[in-house]
Amino acid sequence: ISLDDVRTENPAKDDNGLTFRALGQARQPAAHDYAADPLRPQFHYTPYQGWINDPNGLVQFGGRHHLFSQFYPDAPKWGPMHWAHADSPDAVHWRELPVALKPPPPATPADASGIFSGSAVDDDGMLTVAYTRFTDTAAHPGATPETVEIATSKDGVNFAPYDGNPVIAEPPPGSAAGFRDPYLFRDPTDDRWKLAVGSGDGGKGKIHLYASDDLKDWSYSGVLAGGDGTDGAMWECPALFRLGGKWVLLTSVNEGGKSVQQYAVGTYDGQKFTAEKRGVLDGGGDTYAGQVYADDRGRQLMTAWMSDWSAKEPTRVNGWAGAQTVTRELFLRRDGGLGARPVAEVAKLAKGDPVRVGAKTVTGDWRIGRGDTARLQAGIDLKRTGADVVKVRLHASPAEATELRYEKSSGTLTLDTTRSGYGTRDTYTTHAEPDADGVLRLDILVDRSSVEVFTGDGATLTARVYPRYAESTGVEFAATGGSLRLTGAKLTPLGSSWS
Ligand code: FRU
């Protein structure tokens, strides 16, 4: 892309008043280039330039993990969507591949038509993706705005759209509020291909279900699941999968300036999903549009967009915006809800000597070490902790910090970004229980502009944070009104996801 294209097709300033930095030529990401950008996460997928949102097409194909992203290469803001593409041998180290799907040439300068979110399956050695073809009706009056198309690839790199597209030419009646984000899966109840499509109608979120034997010819089987209006008017980015003897339906809702991933754990009979337990996956401000795939070890893995539609995205001044979470393994929590932990392969990112401490009593503030690309694993022995509130500070300096607080009496875990630096300032809460031995286990991934918190029982809090100062790399524990008893802690420096 040329700079002239960027300047004529995009305003110099974005909606938040930030000035877009001039963009260079598209190129392969390299660890040393990324290391020079103080706001760029080092072990998370980010676009080399431009904008990304939802992860798409997650699949293990030919042994490699594939990650596609909603992508606009020309400026660090949402625009006509492409599918960026990366793959990985281990779900934590990435290699950029050519853009997999591109939008049609625009009919007018403002034409936002593009390739919206979708998913992938391995159809006996043929990588098949299903996606929403979005047509901007302002530029194409009378067009159907959202249809389902498929494309295939033998080599996992080059994709050919199917000649017979669209495979679903229009939404079923009564789905005016949206018809997008097809999720492909092999249904074990009848051994057929299924497609779940996000929708909404009359202020109530809804998921439509289709069935096929060849991934091309689809028949409508009805509404898979629907909400009552209190849980979103439009359910985006569905994922339906088996976990621990149950079925889980994950959907994303973006309303009133808030974006959440909501889940339901329940049963599925081949046509209808029935919820038994509902909740929010990740209480933080910055996960959305998570997609789930089973790997060859039978794990259900998820990557989500590590941002949301209300995010300030200060990295735009550096020519890019958006990141994907680390790959997470999903599991059922002790209370039957949906939980997550970092995929075990995150351990392969370790680089350099960890700081290890054994059992230790902390009173006041105590710094274990420094790191802005690091993993902190710690056990807090709640039975031997006098303080009601224990704290962990990340990206900490005297001027700022991102603070995690656990209140023993209520089990409330709070992530406070009100003193984090640039970006969204807020407090996020979730509920976490200690493990059976009374120890609250924390596993925290700190990258240059993100914090991902996981507890032993599967609670998660994720937030993008943008420290202002180079000194804000402290990792500290603190206790108020009593002591904090650590069973042990380990701070491991992590390296880059890129070679
Ligand atoms: C979710 C979403 C999807 C859509 C895509 C467009 O974040 O709105 O529903 O397919 O983003 O980029």
Paired tokens of 83: 């599918």
> Given pLDDT bands bounded at 50, 70 and 90, which one contains residue 8?
very low
Q: What is the model's pLDDT at position 25?
A: 41
Q: How far apart are CA 320 and CA 224, in angstroms?
A: 37
Is domain 3-343 given the CATH code 2.115.10.20 in the classification? yes
pLDDT tens digits, 171-225 = 998 787 799 999 999 999 999 999 999 999 889 999 999 999 999 999 999 999 9
289 Cβ below 6 A of ligand 1: yes
In this predicted structure, which of 97-106, 205-214, 288-297 has the lowest mean pLDDT?
97-106
Q: What is the model's pLDDT at position 256?
A: 84
Q: What is the mean pLDDT of the chain?
A: 93
81 Cβ below 6 A of ligand 1: yes
The model's pTM is: 0.94
Provide, rounded to the nearest whole percent, the portion of the chain with pLDDT above 70.
Answer: 94
> Given pLDDT bands bounded at 50, 70 and 90, which one contains residue 1?
very low
Minimum-distance ligand 1 atom for the alpha carbon of 259: 7
Q: What is the model's pLDDT at position 279?
A: 97
| Buried b / exposed e along 181-198 (16+ C-beta atoms within 10 A) | bbbbbeeeeeeebbbbbb
Query: How far is the centre of ligand 1, averaged over its atoms, from the C-alpha of 54 (Å)?
Result: 7
Residue located nearest, by CA, to atom 12 of ligand 1: 116
381 classed as catalytic: no
70 Cβ below 6 A of ligand 1: yes
Residue located nearest, by CA, to atom 8 of ligand 1: 236
Taking Cα atoms as reference points, which of 447, 462, 445, 478 lies closest to residue 377? 445
237 Cβ below 6 A of ligand 1: yes
475 Cβ below 6 A of ligand 1: no
Can you give the C-alpha Rg of the chain in angstroms? Answer: 22
pLDDT tens digits, 414-448 = 999 999 998 889 999 999 999 999 999 999 999 99
The residue extents of the domains of the chain are 3-343, 350-493
pLDDT tens digits, 467-480 = 999 999 999 999 98
261 Cβ below 6 A of ligand 1: no
Q: How far apart are CA 87 and CA 62, in angstroms?
A: 11
> Given pLDDT bands bounded at 50, 70 and 90, which one contains residue 5?
very low
Query: Catalytic pick from 4, 15, 33, 54?
Result: 54
Query: How far is the centre of ligand 1, averaged over its atoms, from the C-alpha of 346 (Å)?
Result: 27
pLDDT at 389 exceeding the cut of 90: yes
Q: Do domains 3-343 and 350-493 have the same CATH topology?
A: no
pLDDT tens digits, 353-381 = 999 999 999 999 999 999 999 999 999 99
Query: How far is the centre of ligand 1, averaged over its atoms, from the C-alpha of 115 (Å)?
Result: 10
C-beta separation of 130 from 148 below 8 A: yes
CATH fold, domain 350-493, is Jelly Rolls (2.60.120)
Provide the pairing of β-strand 50-61 with 320-321: parallel
Q: What is the model's pLDDT at position 2?
A: 32
**Partners of residue 445 on adjacent β-strands:** 375, 452
Q: What is the model's pLDDT at position 16?
A: 64
